[in-house]
Chains A and B, each alone.
Chain A
Amino acid sequence: MVDIGHIALIIAFVAAVYSAVASAVGARSGSGALIMSARNGILVIAALYTLALAAMMYAFVTKDFSLKIVAEHASKDLPTIYAFSALYADKAGSVLFWGWLISLFAAVLALRKHSSYKQITPCALSILGVILAFFLALVTLVVNVFDKNPVPTTDGFGLNPLLQNFGMLIHPPLLYVGFAGFAVVFAFVMAALITRSPDIEWTGGIRRWALFAWCALGLGNLVGMWWSYNELGWGGYWAWDPVENAGLMPWLLGTAFIHSTVMLRKRNYLHTWSFVLVIITFVFVLLSPFITHGGIESPLHGFYASNYPPYILAAMLVTLVGSLGLLYIRHRGFEEKEKPLSFISREGAFLLTNIIFVVLVFLIITGVVLPRIVEGVGGSKMALDRDYFDWSCGPIMLALFFFMGICATLGWRKSSWHSLRRNLLYTLVPALIIAIAILISGIGNWYSVAALICGFPLITIFLEWFRGTKSRHRANRENYVRAFFYLIWSNKPRYGGFIVHIGIILIALSIIGSSFYGAESTATLDIGESMTVGDYELAYDDLTLKEDSSKLKAIASISVSRGDKLISTMHPEYNYWFTQMATIAEVAVRTTPAEDLFVSMAWTSYDPEDESATFRALVNPLLVWMWIGGGFILLGGVIAFWSDRRRQPRSEVNSK
């Protein structure tokens, strides 16, 4: 079974090389037979990849410890459902999974009827063939993912208990779906450049792929934060660690690209810029495994230290130089057909937003690589702590929210000062008055002003919805609820985008609330003693010790009261895992719309005679809105994605 997997991957590698060449030659010579053959090659790769992955999962599920990867990441007592977590935990295993997704997406592309694309799709498949060949080489030639275990064992090392969590089951695949999706977008853009296809017909397809990848990547990052918050016991969700930044940067660039596709579609504007964005996004997608595989040292995340980084670095350089070179040669065919008429227009605001996203990524990547550069030129080894990121990115992000609000009030081409003034009068002026009132009255501080800036686009969205609904209500005599849903349905990309904006705003408010308005307390308590955090009183009532096959559990019982009223009982755990010989806390969280109460046990002796234990308690205001915001992003993404299914006439889209 194991040999089947390895052989399948090797054949797939050969097929990928063949498909890449045949598809390119076929597209160039217009040979239909060659194009079809290459297309079938792509389908074969997807089938072989699936076979290899199935063989791998079979080995994990049956706990075949003769395989090195299984022995290193699984153990007899590992629940079957975490076989996938064990796969992602391996350096080559994660690359196998990622490559498999790319092969699936390539197959979807190959199976689509593409009469309208003609040359572009074969050309894009050729690029994907090259990418697939690279990924296949990584798991066969560089490292054999099906390597035999040199020392026979009866049990494996086991999976880190922290990864045995639902969040970790879906966090990596979501990221890889996003990464693989951006590979497809990149392939399309390269194909458009190579085949000199200046018509924008392909942007419809590209927009959907980008939206899909962007949504998956964003949710993947969010699930990672959810995992960090609920599993790691430090009470936070983001530490600006290089590994986290690696997932954030392509997402930010993808966000910029999605906004520039709107310009492509509606105004046939910003071609070259959009191409540059896609290329850079893909380079940052490749940067991600470079960082996680130890190319850049991460203080928090343990090393995967593989021998991949040099190969990935080479791939990044080839991609960057090759694609930017190609763009330079071909960009004249894509000259802007229309310059924006005014800065005070939606084009102007979109362009500015795009630039801000790129600046944001520039600041983050500077924080990631600057310490390495300083070290490389002979300086002392240094690091930038999270203050760097907070203070450089925070103000830029606030600026983004400001423009998010402004943008919705601007019209295409040229907005008159008059209409802008009128719109701002209803939104920005009240916001400003409230901000000044907050500062003067002393009930708030600069952080509440920041929250207000994030809330500003919320007001403009609601205002826009209110106006649209009202005019539909008047014109079509629809009731308000009906009118509202028809309004959203009539221009799904626009209103789907607004719903995503609401999600992002909720996340921003949650970050501000939990970062600046929380409370924290740590104490060691004996049974019967209590501690306070915020306006909660936590009484330590009882400790229970329980043992199962993999761990010794210490379960505390804590009564939570507020103002003499008992409101809840919480059960944080502190567990000793036998295989790993490590203690790991299971936190208890009590969630309300206003705030989370987070309790983690940081120590106990497991001695039945001494039941004292150390607890860390945090109050995190508004935290639940972060996950609700994720729901809005998903909803808005689906609505915006839906829109292309029935192509709307351009005139209708523009009139709204």
Chain B
Amino acid sequence: MRKRYLIGGVILIAAVGYLLYMALGSSTVYYVTVSELLDKGQDAYETSIRVAGKIADGSIEWNAEELELKFAVVEGNASLPVIYEGARPDGFKAGADIVVEGKYHSDKIFRASNILMKCPSKYVPEEE
């Protein structure tokens, strides 16, 4: 009986370990701040990254015909120009918190494949 539990346990752990290994390998995304990304410069080109920040005032250019959204993500004094192709998400406005996911290119523009607005399900007003 004991042996059976042992064998079962080993199979289970092996299966879970395999799943973890497979799943972790393909889905890790690195988080950086805007200034960290700019410091990294060319080391950061062409790798999947997430960058969090705020949408810069007056930076939003929305081309509805081409479904192209250009804006800048700021954090402190650092600013990162972003291009995203797709629909403009809800709540997209200057000053909103945003996470952009995609790749940084040698032309110093971040091409986002995905943009996540902070879902304000727990809405807190900006506190002065």
> Which residues of A approach B to under 8 Å, CB–CB?
72-73, 89, 91, 157, 159-160, 162-163, 232-234, 243, 292, 299-305, 339, 343, 355, 359, 362-363, 366, 370-371, 380-389, 391-392, 395-396, 522-524, 581-585, 602-603, 612-614, 616
Contact with A along B12-32 (1 / 0, CB 8 A): 100010011011101111111
* Residue of B22, B50, B122 touching A303 (CB-CB under 8 A): B122
Provide the residues of chain B in CB contact with A359, threshold 8 Å. 12, 16
Cβ-based interface call for B6 (8 A): no
Whether the Cβ atoms of B26 and A387 lie closer than 8 Å is yes
Whether the Cβ atoms of B24 and A304 lie closer than 8 Å is no
Whether the Cβ atoms of A299 and B99 lie closer than 8 Å is yes
Provide the residues of chain A in CB contact with B93, threshold 8 Å. 581-583
Interface of B is mostly: mixed
CA distance A515 to B31 in the complex (A): 27
* Residue of A302, A363, A386, A523 touching B123 (CB-CB under 8 A): A302
CA distance A243 to B64 in the complex (A): 33
Interface residues of B in 94-128 (CB under 8 A from A): 96-97, 99, 101, 116, 118-125
Interface residues on B, range: 35 or more
CA distance A384 to B28 in the complex (A): 5
Cβ-based interface call for B78 (8 A): no
Closest beta carbon of chain B to A494's beta carbon, Å: 27
Interface of A is mostly: mixed
CA distance A386 to B88 in the complex (A): 21
Whether the Cβ atoms of B91 and A304 lie closer than 8 Å is no
Cβ-based interface call for B90 (8 A): yes
Cβ-based interface call for B41 (8 A): no
Whether the Cβ atoms of B116 and A522 lie closer than 8 Å is no
Q: Which residue of B lies closest to A168 (CB)?
A: B121
Closest CB pairs A-B (n = 5) = A160-B123, A602-B87, A392-B23, A387-B27, A388-B27
Provide the residues of chain B in CB contact with A292, threshold 8 Å. 122
CA distance A522 to B125 in the complex (A): 32
* Residue of B24, B64, B90 touching A583 (CB-CB under 8 A): B90
* Residue of B27, B29, B67, B101 touching A614 (CB-CB under 8 A): B67
Most-contacted residue by chain A among B1, B19, B29, B119 (CB, 10 A): B119
Other 18 A-B pairs with CB < 8 A, given A383-B29, A388-B26: A160-B120, A160-B121, A233-B90, A292-B122, A300-B118, A302-B124, A303-B122, A339-B1, A343-B4, A363-B20, A381-B32, A383-B28, A384-B29, A387-B27, A522-B87, A524-B64, A524-B65, A612-B65
Whether the Cβ atoms of B88 and A603 lie closer than 8 Å is yes
Whether the Cβ atoms of B19 and A396 lie closer than 8 Å is yes
Q: Which residue of B lies closest to A391 (CB)?
A: B23
Provide the residues of chain A in CB contact with B12, threshold 8 Å. 355, 359
Q: Which residue of A lies closest to B62 (CB)?
A: A603
CA distance A383 to B27 in the complex (A): 8
Provide the residues of chain B in CB contact with A89, threshold 8 Å. 122-123
Closest beta carbon of chain A to B87's beta carbon, Å: 4
Whether the Cβ atoms of B122 and A301 lie closer than 8 Å is yes
Whether the Cβ atoms of B90 and A383 lie closer than 8 Å is no
Provide the residues of chain A in CB contact with B97, threshold 8 Å. 302
Whether the Cβ atoms of A301 and B50 lie closer than 8 Å is no
Contact with A along B30-47 (1 / 0, CB 8 A): 111000000000000000
* Residue of B19, B29, B87, B122 touching A302 (CB-CB under 8 A): B122
Provide the residues of chain A in CB contact with B28, threshold 8 Å. 382-384, 388
Provide the residues of chain B in CB contact with A581, threshold 8 Å. 93
CA distance A301 to B121 in the complex (A): 6
Whether the Cβ atoms of A384 and B27 lie closer than 8 Å is yes
Closest beta carbon of chain A to B125's beta carbon, Å: 4
* Residue of A362, A382, A396, A524 touching B30 (CB-CB under 8 A): A382
CA distance A581 to B91 in the complex (A): 9
Whether the Cβ atoms of B16 and A363 lie closer than 8 Å is yes
CA distance A363 to B24 in the complex (A): 11
Provide the residues of chain B in CB contact with A382, threshold 8 Å. 28-31
Whether the Cβ atoms of A603 and B119 lie closer than 8 Å is no
Cβ-based interface call for B58 (8 A): no
Whether the Cβ atoms of A391 and B31 lie closer than 8 Å is no
Whether the Cβ atoms of A583 and B20 lie closer than 8 Å is no
CA distance A581 to B125 in the complex (A): 12
Whether the Cβ atoms of A385 and B29 lie closer than 8 Å is yes
Q: Which residue of B lies closest to A367 (CB)?
A: B23
CA distance A91 to B24 in the complex (A): 33
* Residue of B20, B31, B64 touching A383 (CB-CB under 8 A): B31
Provide the residues of chain B in CB contact with A582, threshold 8 Å. 90-91, 93, 96
Closest beta carbon of chain A to B104's beta carbon, Å: 15
Provide the residues of chain A in CB contact with B88, threshold 8 Å. 602-603, 614
Closest beta carbon of chain B to A107's beta carbon, Å: 29
CA distance A165 to B84 in the complex (A): 30
CA distance A163 to B122 in the complex (A): 9
Closest beta carbon of chain B to A242's beta carbon, Å: 12
